[in-house]
Amino acid sequence: MTDIPQDSPDRQDMADEKGAFDPRLTRRRALMLGTVGAAAVVSVRPALAQAAGSVLNCEIPVPGPHGTGQNIAADGRLVTPDTPGSFAPTGRKFTGEEVKAALRGRSLPGTGYEESRAYVNYIRRLQHGQSGFTCYASLQMPR
């Protein structure tokens, strides 16, 4: 059934009480490992579901604290409030679920099309260390 070298520690673990190699013990060991693996899958699956739910409930401020007092240009850059064509901050945070829908083409709640595109561009430009970056990065993870 399985060809395991004579001096292998695994072969010693699969010996019967007389010290003779018993191939049935390899099957028993494999079945036991399968049981442990199944238990791990059962316990990890709810954790993944919970993590997926928390990703959709995380929040992204537009703009974050680093952009206080600034507007958002159409390309997502922070600009001075007197910049033509820029949009004033929303004064609210968007959930991961709202941002995910906006990344797929919908508008962010309470915004017009152009304003929503500017805010989505701002979110796409978030970098490590900025408020909302972790939420945005987690939306990019495949599920």
Rounded to an integer, the average pLDDT of 12-23 is 60
Contacts of 109 (CB under 8 A, 6+ apart): 94, 98
Residue 71: pLDDT over 80 = yes
**Tokens describing residue 121:** 């561009």
pTM, to two decimals: 0.62
Q: How confident is the model at residue 91 (pLDDT cuts 50, 70, 90)?
A: confident
Tell me if 88 sits within 8 A of 71, measured CB to CB.
Answer: yes
Domain ranges of the chain: 9-46, 58-139
Tell me if 97 sits within 8 A of 136, measured CB to CB.
Answer: no
Of 16-25, 61-70, 85-94, the least confident: 16-25
